[in-house]
Amino acid sequence: MHLNKMTPDFLILSLIFALLRGIGANPEEEGNDKSLFKIEGKVLAPQSADQDWISSTKILVDGGANIGFLKSDGTFVINNVPSGSYIVEVVNPTFVFEPYRVDITSKGKTRGRKLNNLQPSAVQTVTYPLKFKSRGKAEYFQRREEWRISDLLFNPMVMMMIVPCLMFLVLPKLMNTADPETQKEMQQSMNMFTNPKQNMPDISETLTSWLGGNPAAGNAGRKAAKPRPLKKK
């Protein structure tokens, strides 16, 4: 299904390479053909790399059949590689680099492509000489959960506790306390809380009355009108 997506050029290219490789693997041919080629490339210095990243980095061809070392500018050349197809990977303890596959024809034509272990015949070429760019630092460690006040505050349970508290404590303050009528109202409602014998109004009812009144905080008249039925009781 992936082949359909590929352009015909790629198909032909890969076919040619497959053919060439087939020839290369032929034993009679191999006997004569001893020419060795090289793989070239550059490893771009990762950000935040320390001084000795060059000496701690190496290039492995097929897991160490050939090994390349970096020059001080990050370039490398791997000599004495016979024709074939190889996995080229950059090894560094701290930084991660994506491995590539390099194909060398029996005539020494070299190309780099993305490594795809699942579909080895799928070709997605990359620039050659190879350019390795760090994908960042390897995340070897789990982040330990730190105790932060914000974590605690944004915890949903805590939020559920705090928001109603705020409503109870802050909202009344926000209301116009200068207005004597409101003050009176408050007094009464406070009385209701402190005096349990008195017939308690439903909390939800109180809340709705407050919330309903809140948007029209400026309109004192309407606000004052609503609690009035309570008074009549």
Partner 1 sequence: MKVQHNPWIFLLSVAFLVQLCLALYEDQAGKFDWRHQYIGRAVHATFDQSGVQGKRLLLSTEQNVVAAVNARNGQLGWRHILEEGDSGRIDDMIVVNNFVLVLCSGGGLVRAFHSISGSLQWEAPVPASPAQKRGDLALHGGDDQLLVLSGDSITVLNSDTGVEVWTKVLSNTGTTDYVYTASHGNDIIVAGISPGSHVSKVIYTKKGEVKLQESFPAAWLASQEQCQFSKGHLICLSQDGSIVYHARLDSNAASFIASSISQYGLQRCQQLEVFSADTELYEGMPIFSVRCDTKSFNLFIIKANTKLELLKTLKEVDSAEIIQFEDITVLVTISREDGDKATMAGIDLETGKEMTELSVKVHFPQHHGAPNQLRGVLFKHKDGLIGMRILVISEDHSLVLYQQSGKVLWLREEALASIMSVEMVDLPVSQIMAKMEDEFGNQNNDLLSMFVRRFTTQFQQVQAFILQLRQRLKAVRHHHHHHQVEEAEVEQDEEEEEEDEEEYLTRDDFNLHKMIVAVTSCGKIFGLDSQNGHVVWRLYNPLLVPFTKQGRSVLPLYVHRTTAHFPHQPQCSILGLHKTTRKGLLFTFHPISGVAEENMPASGFELNHGILQATLLTQMDSEFLRPLVVLSTDLKYFVYPREDTDLVKELAPSLYMFSSNDAAGILQGYNTVPTDQGLVADVMWRLDLKREGHAITQVVPKRLDERVNSQGIVLGDRSVMYKYLNPNLVVVIAEGDDGQGKNSFNVYLVDGVSGRLVFHCNHKKSSGPINVVHSENWVVYNFWNQKHRRVELAILEMYEGKEQSNTTDFSSLHPPPPPVIMRQAYTFPGHISAMAATITEIGITSKHILIAMQNGGILELAKAFLDPRRPENPTAESREEGLLPYIPELPRPFEATINYNHSVYNIRGIHTVASGLESTCLVLAYGLDLFYDRVMPSRMFDVLKDDFDYFFIGSVVVGMILVSLLTQKLAARKALNRAWK
Contacts with partner 1 by CB under 8 A lie at 25, 27, 30, 36, 38, 51-52, 54-56, 58, 60, 62-72, 76-77, 79-80, 85, 87, 89, 91, 93-94, 96, 101, 117-120, 138-144
CA–CA separation, 121 vs 158, rounded Å? 56
Q: Tell me if residue 84 falls in helix, strand or coil.
A: strand
In the complex, minimum distance from the CB of residue 85 to partner 1, in angstroms, rounded to a whole number = 6
CB of 113 within 8 A of CB of 123? yes
Show the tokens assigned to 35: 């020419």
How many other CB atoms are found less than 10 A from the CB of residue 185? 21
How many other CB atoms are found less than 10 A from the CB of residue 230? 15
In the complex, minimum distance from the CB of residue 72 to partner 1, in angstroms, rounded to a whole number = 4
In the complex, minimum distance from the CB of residue 5 to partner 1, in angstroms, rounded to a whole number = 12
- Closer CB to partner 1, residue 56 or residue 189? 56
The HSE-up count of residue 232 (CA atoms within 13 Å, CB side) is 5
Q: At 144, which amino acid appears?
A: R
- Closer CB to partner 1, residue 148 or residue 231? 148
Q: What is the largest CA-CA distance in the chain?
A: 113
- Closer CB to partner 1, residue 101 or residue 111? 101
In the complex, minimum distance from the CB of residue 195 to partner 1, in angstroms, rounded to a whole number = 14
- Closer CB to partner 1, residue 25 or residue 162? 25
DSSP 185-199: HHHHHHHHHH-TTS-
In the complex, minimum distance from the CB of residue 86 to partner 1, in angstroms, rounded to a whole number = 8
How distant, in Å, are the alpha carbons of 59, 119, 140, 173, 182 from that of 186? 78, 76, 60, 10, 6
- Closer CB to partner 1, residue 115 or residue 224? 115
In the complex, minimum distance from the CB of residue 158 to partner 1, in angstroms, rounded to a whole number = 16
CA–CA separation, 58 vs 67, rounded Å? 7
- Closer CB to partner 1, residue 77 or residue 163? 77
